């Protein structure tokens, strides 16, 4: 059995959204709202519904969140109480140049975070032609 | 939009470009591997890096970026630099939920955004309400794109304005429908490659011709410093609050555009998506920032001094009209730029249309009306839905344009992000928070939307510089957390997720 066939089989068990009507899902009807929560399909635990059933804890996401928050706060020009227009940088007022520069740093951090934190070990298994 | 009448050769160039889109749609149809929803709406196994980046770019930067962003900068000056930040914020939000969403989408064969919600929460009212929210939010966006297409063609020809508008809407809508019906997502993504490429070239041309004709940024600064100092000064407290609010609202709302979520699904692999997102992080600096520079330069130009703030949406057209009178070379540069505008409008409209069609077909028809429908039938229904949706939207666009007092769509356009961001708890928090109860995001969404709609007529809080969506999201999150920590009917729902 190919890896893809295994995936298909698993999906069928979970009541996926393909041509076969999902047996565990009921159409929406207002009066029966209280009973609307479908019964869980076999093996469909909370963990199975998450992208990563066994998440690893790492301080990096928190540090990144802090880094992005600080950069966005620095990017918004709230701290130029008086003026901030001179000297011109590439024809732009100083506050615009600083704000644009911080924006560039946010882009760099986003790109770095994508490469540093994004898992890519399952590329081949998920790909296709 | 200002009148920029084109000659036969220039209109011929535009016509060739439009016909090439149909050719691409035909190629997309030939590349089809199966007659299924997945193939029609997500191009089967997905798209590679270049196609993903250009289709995301062409989808996120609409004609609005060129018209409205230059106009807004003309009105408020450098403060519209906030557009660079809120467009970058979208990418930062992607980092939070796109990797997990993509992995699940491949594993579970998601097609519509609501497929994730149904998988994660199995709460049918939430799935349906989320779909309806997305259709309403972006349906209005489609209407705006169709209207802009009509106005653009109206400005390019010398026909009677209303006739030109009607012809423009119908002609461009039919071309869009033909290539989309032929090739589905594959055709839309491939045409986006052309349209995204033209758009990037268009932005570069725009910067070049504007700085060349009107003088550099330093000259504009000196002029504005004398005549309109508020446009170059650091912003006031109200604008600062609005700036932060925009970052939150567009950052979350823009990341939850259904058409963008479907592009996450469509990425061929995690590596393709990761590289695409990393690349997208820099694109606001090549699009929004250029629009800001053009707006500032136009605001300083004496040739545009007669335009009032209310006319600011005409700034882009006026810049084109002035520049193209300079020489035949400049005239052709502007023709390419106009093709780029057309590309931006059509690429956004076709992506929105495909997304609306997929949600109506899969989330409403398949899930609620006919769960036993075959893949071939669903695909046929999806194509038919596209034609019906465009027919309705085009009729509304033509009707609204014929009115004496044309109603403004600006408020509804703004509401798009306020509405979409209410889906944040389901998509973003739901991706990471295992303990989130199935009914919590539904009641959160209901509460958030209710508050957004309640605050709009009042206007007091939003006039303070914070979007209604921010208050709605805060209330939404409060409800989600409260219901997840202290669920109603605890005994009944306990068995659902915690088995």
pLDDT band for B63, please (50, 70, 90 cuts).
confident
How far from each other are the two terminal CA atoms of chain B, in whole angstroms?
Answer: 59
Residue of B nearest to A122 (CA): B270
What are the tens digits of pLDDT across the range B133-148? 999 888 888 888 888 8
Is residue B78 less than 8 Å (CB to CB) from chain A? yes
pLDDT of residue B408: 52
* Cα B492 from Cα B136, distance rounded (Å): 33
Specify the range with the lowest mean pLDDT, choosing from B21-25, B84-88, B166-170: B21-25
Is residue A5 less than 8 Å (CB to CB) from chain B? no
Taking residues A64-72, report their average pLDDT.
95
pLDDT of residue B460: 59
**Residues of chain A with C-beta less than 8 angstroms from the C-beta of B291:** none
Is residue B439 less than 8 Å (CB to CB) from chain A? yes
**Residues of chain B with C-beta less than 8 angstroms from the C-beta of A95:** 78, 234
Higher confidence at residue B378 or residue B311?
B378
Specify the range with the lowest mean pLDDT, choosing from B25-29, B74-78, B451-455: B25-29
Q: Do A18 and B109 touch (CB under 8 A)?
A: yes
pLDDT of residue B116: 93
Residue bearing tokens 């467009």: B87
Residue of A nearest to B296 (CA): A92
pLDDT band for B337, please (50, 70, 90 cuts).
confident
Q: Where are the domains of chain A?
A: 1-51, 56-119
pLDDT of residue A31: 39
Burial of B93 (0-12, 13-18, 19+ CB in 10 A): buried
What is the helix, strand, coil percentage profile of chain A, to 5?
50, 0, 50
Q: Which helix (H) or strand (E) holds B476?
A: helix B468-485
Tell me the CA distances in angstroms from B413 to B144, B279, B409, one per residue in order.
8, 27, 6
pLDDT of residue A28: 44
A14, A110, A120 ranked by CB distance to B281: nearest: A110
Is residue B498 less than 8 Å (CB to CB) from chain A? yes
Taking residues B395-418, report their average pLDDT.
72
Residue of B nearest to A101 (CA): B285
**Residues of chain A with C-beta less than 8 angstroms from the C-beta of B215:** none
pLDDT of residue A125: 46
Backbone angles phi, psi at B47, to 5 degrees: -115, 160
Is residue A34 less than 8 Å (CB to CB) from chain B? yes
- Supply the DSSP string of B438-450, one letter for each residue: TTHHHHHHHHHHH
**Residues of chain B with C-beta less than 8 angstroms from the C-beta of A47:** 434
Q: Which helix (H) or strand (E) holds B180?
A: helix B161-214
* Cα B48 from Cα B53, distance rounded (Å): 9
Taking residues B381-406, report their average pLDDT.
83
Taking residues B474-482, report their average pLDDT.
95
Percent over 70 (pLDDT), chain A: 47
Measured on CA atoms in the order B303, B305, B306, B312, is the torsion positive or negative?
A: positive
User: ipTM of the predicted structure?
Assistant: 0.86
Taking residues B237-248, report their average pLDDT.
92
Let me know the angle formed at the C-alpha of B483 by B481 and B486, rounded to the nearest 5 degrees. 100
Percent over 90 (pLDDT), chain B: 23
Q: Which residues pair with A89 in a beta bridge?
A: A92
pLDDT of residue B45: 67
**Residues of chain B with C-beta less than 8 angstroms from the C-beta of A104:** 285
**Residues of chain A with C-beta less than 8 angstroms from the C-beta of B107:** 7, 11
Residues in contact with B216: Cβ distance below 8 Å, sequence separation at least 6, in sequence order: A91
Q: Do A72 and B85 touch (CB under 8 A)?
A: yes
* Cα B57 from Cα B328, distance rounded (Å): 30
Q: Do B99 and A119 touch (CB under 8 A)?
A: yes
Q: Do A120 and B46 touch (CB under 8 A)?
A: no
Mutate which of B92, B252, B439, B495 to test chain A, going by most A C-beta atoms within 10 A?
A: B92
Helix axes B161-214, B375-402, angle to 10 degrees: 80
Taking residues B84-98, report their average pLDDT.
94
* Cα B246 from Cα B192, distance rounded (Å): 27
Residue of A nearest to B429 (CA): A50
Q: Do A50 and B431 touch (CB under 8 A)?
A: yes
Taking residues B250-265, report their average pLDDT.
91
Is residue A9 less than 8 Å (CB to CB) from chain B? no
- CATH architecture of the domain with residue range B8-413: Up-down Bundle (1.20)
pLDDT of residue A34: 38
Residue of A nearest to B110 (CA): A17
Say whether the peptide bond before residue A87 is cis (omega within 30 degrees of 0): yes
pLDDT of residue B196: 82
Residue bearing tokens 């199995």: B122
Is residue A101 less than 8 Å (CB to CB) from chain B? no
**Would you say residue A36 has pLDDT above 50?**
no
Taking residues A65-72, report their average pLDDT.
95
Name the residue among A100, A97, A82, A105 with its Cα closest to residue B221. A97
Is residue A31 less than 8 Å (CB to CB) from chain B? no
**Would you say residue B383 has pLDDT above 80?**
yes
pLDDT of residue B286: 87
Residue A129, min C-alpha distance to chain B (Å):
7
* Cα A87 from Cα A97, distance rounded (Å): 10
- Supply the DSSP string of B16-62, one letter for each residue: HHHHHHHHHHHHHHHT---SSHHHHHH-TT-B-HHHHHHHHHHHHS-
**Would you say residue A42 has pLDDT above 50?**
no
Q: Do A107 and B285 touch (CB under 8 A)?
A: yes
B82, B127, B274 ranked by CB distance to A115: nearest: B274
**Would you say residue B113 has pLDDT above 70?**
yes
Is residue B370 less than 8 Å (CB to CB) from chain A? no
For the ranges B171-180, B186-195, B475-484, the maximum mean pLDDT occurs at B475-484
* Cα A59 from Cα B384, distance rounded (Å): 50
Is residue B406 less than 8 Å (CB to CB) from chain A? no
Specify the range with the lowest mean pLDDT, choosing from A19-28, B79-88, B167-176: A19-28
Q: Which helix (H) or strand (E) holds B174?
A: helix B161-214
Helix axes B124-156, B410-420, angle to 10 degrees: 150
What is the helix, strand, coil percentage profile of chain B, to 5?
85, 0, 15
Task: State chain B's mean pLDDT as an integer.
Answer: 84
Q: Do B89 and A72 touch (CB under 8 A)?
A: yes
**Residues of chain B with C-beta less than 8 angstroms from the C-beta of A96:** 78, 81
- Supply the DSSP string of A94-124, one letter for each residue: HHHHHHHHHHHHHHHHHHHHHHHH---TTHH
**Cβ(B224)–Cβ(B231) below 8 Å:** yes
What are the tens digits of pLDDT across the range B436-464? 888 999 999 999 999 998 887 776 566 78
B45, B225, B275 ranked by CB distance to A129: nearest: B45
Q: Residues spanned by CATH 1.20.1730.10 within chain B?
A: 8-413
Q: Do B285 and A100 touch (CB under 8 A)?
A: yes
Q: Do A51 and B124 touch (CB under 8 A)?
A: no
pLDDT of residue A51: 66
Q: How many CB pairs under 8 A join A and B?
A: 213
**Residues of chain A with C-beta less than 8 angstroms from the C-beta of B274:** 114-115, 118, 120
pLDDT band for A40, please (50, 70, 90 cuts).
very low
B84, B123, B434 ranked by CB distance to A103: nearest: B84
Residue B296, min C-alpha distance to chain A (Å):
10
């Amino acid at each position: 059995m190919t890896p893809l066939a295994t995936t298909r089989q698993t999906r069928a068990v979970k009541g996926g959204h393909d041509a076969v009507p999902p047996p565990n899902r009921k159409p929406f009807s207002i009066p029966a709202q209280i009973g609307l929560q479908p019964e869980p399909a076999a093996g469909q635990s909370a963990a199975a519904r998450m992208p990563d059933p066994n998440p690893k804890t790492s301080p990096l996401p928190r540090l990144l969140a802090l880094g992005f928050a600080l950069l966005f706060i620095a990017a918004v020009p709230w701290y130029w109480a008086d003026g901030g227009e001179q000297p011109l940088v590439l024809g732009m007022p100083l506050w615009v140049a600083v704000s644009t520069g911080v924006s560039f740093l946010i882009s760099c951090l986003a790109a770095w975070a994508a490469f540093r934190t994004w898992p890519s070990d399952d590329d081949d298994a998920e790909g296709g032609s | 939009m200002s009148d920029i009448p084109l000659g036969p050769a220039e209109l011929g160039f535009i016509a060739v470009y439009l016909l090439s889109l149909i050719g691409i749609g035909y190629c997309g149809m030939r590349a089809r591997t199966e007659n299924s929803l997945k193939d029609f709406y997500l191009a089967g196994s997905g798209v590679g890096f270049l196609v993903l980046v250009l289709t995301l770019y062409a989808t996120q930067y609409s004609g609005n970026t060129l018209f409205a962003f230059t106009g807004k900068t003309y009105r408020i000056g450098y403060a519209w630099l906030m557009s660079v930040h809120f467009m970058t914020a979208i990418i930062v939000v992607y980092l939070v939920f796109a990797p997990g969403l993509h992995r699940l989408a491949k594993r579970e064969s998601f097609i519509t955004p609501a497929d994730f919600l149904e998988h994660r929460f199995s709460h049918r009212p939430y799935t349906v309400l989320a779909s309806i929210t997305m259709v309403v939010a972006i349906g209005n966006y489609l209407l705006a794109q169709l209207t802009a297409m009509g106005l653009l063609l109206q400005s390019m020809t010398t026909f009677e304005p209303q006739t030109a508008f009607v012809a423009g809407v119908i002609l461009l809508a039919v071309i869009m429908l033909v290539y989309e019906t032929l090739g589905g997502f594959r055709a839309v993504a491939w045409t986006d490659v052309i349209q995204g490429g033209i758009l990037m070239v268009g932005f570069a041309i725009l910067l070049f011709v504007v700085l060349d004709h009107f003088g550099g940024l330093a000259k504009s600064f000196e002029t504005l410093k004398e005549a309109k100092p508020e446009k170059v000064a650091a912003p006031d407290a109200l604008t600062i609050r609005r700036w932060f609010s925009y970052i939150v609202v567009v950052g979350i709302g823009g990341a939850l555009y259904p058409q963008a979520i479907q592009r996450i699904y469509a990425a061929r692999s995690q590596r393709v998506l990761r590289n695409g997102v990393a690349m997208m992080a820099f694109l606001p600096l090549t699009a929004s920032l250029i629009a800001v520079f053009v707006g500032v330069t136009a605001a300083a130009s004496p040739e545009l001094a007669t335009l009032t703030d209310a006319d600011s949406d005409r700034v882009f057209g006026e810049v084109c009209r002035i520049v193209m009178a300079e020489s035949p070379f400049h005239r052709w540069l502007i023709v390419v730029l106009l093709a780029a505008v057309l590309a931006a409008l059509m690429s956004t409209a076709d992506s929105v249309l495909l997304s609306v069609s997929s949600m109506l077909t899969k989330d409403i028809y398949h899930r609620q009306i006919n769960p036993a429908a075959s893949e071939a039938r669903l695909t046929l229904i999806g194509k038919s839905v596209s034609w019906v949706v465009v027919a309705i939207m085009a009729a509304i666009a033509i009707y609204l344009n014929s009115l004496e007092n044309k109603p403004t769509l600006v408020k509804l356009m703004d509401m798009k992000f306020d509405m979409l961001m209410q889906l944040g708890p389901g998509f973003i928090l739901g991706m990471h928070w295992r303990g989130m109860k199935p009914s919590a995001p539904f009641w959160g969404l209901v509460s958030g939307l209710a508050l957004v709609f309640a605050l709009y007529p009042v206007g007091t809080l939003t006039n303070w510089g914070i979007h209604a969506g921010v208050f709605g999201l805060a209330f939404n999150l409060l409800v989600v957390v409260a219901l997840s920590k202290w669920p109603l009917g605890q005994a009944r729902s306990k068995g659902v997720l915690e088995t």
